[in-house]
Amino acid sequence: MRTAKVERRTKETEISVSLDLDGSGVYDVNTGIGFLDHMLEQLSRHSLIDLTVAAEGDLHIDFHHTTEDTGIAIGEAVSQALGERRGITRFATATIPMDETLSRVTLDISNRPYLIWKVEFTKPKLGDMDTELFKEWFQAFAQAAGITLHIENLYGENNHHIVESCFKGLARSLRDAMTIDPRKADEVPSTKGVLGGSL
């Protein structure tokens, strides 16, 4: 069973995450940030990861700590559930259209975290959420999950569509990269025999 539970408590946030990588996309998400909830629901639905997130944070200050720490907690849970990462397909790319927008997400579940973020917004906020915080979420997630993650918005005008296509792209590429290859189900997908560290 590729499942995990993570509790993250700081002076700024209290976050509980549980997930099942081999689920059916069932979610129960409450971060206190409506737009972030919507994006995490998209992540669950399109990756088929069953995801439960409960977060309480210092939203009276701003949304930064809750956004970042939610990314960390979900990333840690994904990493724990993957374990030694035996048998996974490892690499995947998803190119996601949403009306006028097209975004591409490419990743390597390498245990070498890295984020390339080529996404620009024309508005400072979506609802009450600062658009600059989306990069913070993806950075925190990639670092904690041990994933090399490249995200590019190829074109688009609507900021909501741009963000949503990035989360859906992450979901679909995760779904493919986490899939167990039955031909190599017991092997770590690396010539080193272990994922992480130097090339």
Is residue 148 a part of any domain in this protein?
Answer: yes
- Checking if the pLDDT of 199 tops 50, the result is no
Report whether 159 contacts 121 (CB < 8 A): yes
Summarised one tens digit per residue, pLDDT across range 42-93 is: 999 999 999 999 999 999 999 999 999 999 999 999 999 999 898 899 999 9
Summarised one tens digit per residue, pLDDT across range 84-143 is: 898 899 999 999 999 999 999 999 999 999 999 999 999 999 988 999 999 999 999 999
- Residues 6 or more apart from 179 whose CB is under 8 A from it? 88, 89
Q: Which domain holds residue 179?
A: 3-184
- DSSP per-residue codes, 110-170: -S--EEEEE---SSSEETTEETHHHHHHHHHHHHHHT-EEEEEEEE-S-HHHHHHHHHHHH
Q: Which residue has the tokens 């960390």?
A: 72
- Checking if the pLDDT of 198 tops 50, the result is no
Summarised one tens digit per residue, pLDDT across range 174-184 is: 999 999 988 77
- C-alpha span between 196 and 199 (Å, rounded): 8
Is residue 11 a part of any domain in this protein?
Answer: yes
Q: Domain holding 51: CATH number?
A: 3.30.230.40
Is residue 53 a part of any domain in this protein?
Answer: yes
pLDDT for residue 183: 78
Is residue 156 a part of any domain in this protein?
Answer: yes
Is residue 192 a part of any domain in this protein?
Answer: no
- Checking if the pLDDT of 193 tops 70, the result is no
- C-alpha span between 68 and 73 (Å, rounded): 9
Q: Which residues pair with 52 in a beta bridge?
A: 18, 28
Closest CA to 18 of 35, 36, 1: 1
Is residue 32 a part of any domain in this protein?
Answer: yes
Angle at CA of residue 187, ends 185 and 188, nearest 5°: 120
Number of domains the chain contains:
1
Is residue 190 a part of any domain in this protein?
Answer: no
Is residue 41 a part of any domain in this protein?
Answer: yes
